[in-house]
Amino acid sequence: MNEKIILAKLKMIDAGVVPAFTGCDLIEMLESMDAKKRRIAKRKFRKQWRKMVKKEPHLKRILTSDHGSEPSKAQKRNRSCIYIARMMDQIN
């Protein structure tokens, strides 16, 4: 495994986010957690997402639903992809 990927996964674990790079991995990891820990991990991801949006406001226009409704499946997937990309960018 690439050193950069390992460092990104460690950084995600430190942030309290599930260290998954694919949707299948994410589903598998979340299902292996108990309900309480799964809820905490999802909340931590949303917190990280909000921090990213504060730094990059253009992401909010692209990846949020209108009028505060539930984001679509594609928007959720794209959020996680952007989060992973930002984590990889931070590692040099």
Query: Which tokens is 43 given?
Result: 């909340």
What share of the chain has pLDDT > 70, as a percent? Answer: 96
CB 45 within 8 A of CB 83: yes
Torsion angles phi and psi, residue 12, rounded to 5 = -65, -40
Res 18: pLDDT: 92
pLDDT in tens, 28-69: 999 999 999 999 999 999 999 889 889 988 888 778 777 667
Spatial separation of the C-alpha atoms in residues 91 and 89, rounded to whole Å: 5
Task: Quote the pTM value.
Answer: 0.80
Spatial separation of the C-alpha atoms in residues 36 and 10, rounded to whole Å: 22
- Per domain, the residue ranges of the chain are 3-90
Spatial separation of the C-alpha atoms in residues 43 and 64, rounded to whole Å: 16
* Residue 23's pLDDT band (cuts 50, 70, 90): confident
Res 39: pLDDT: 95
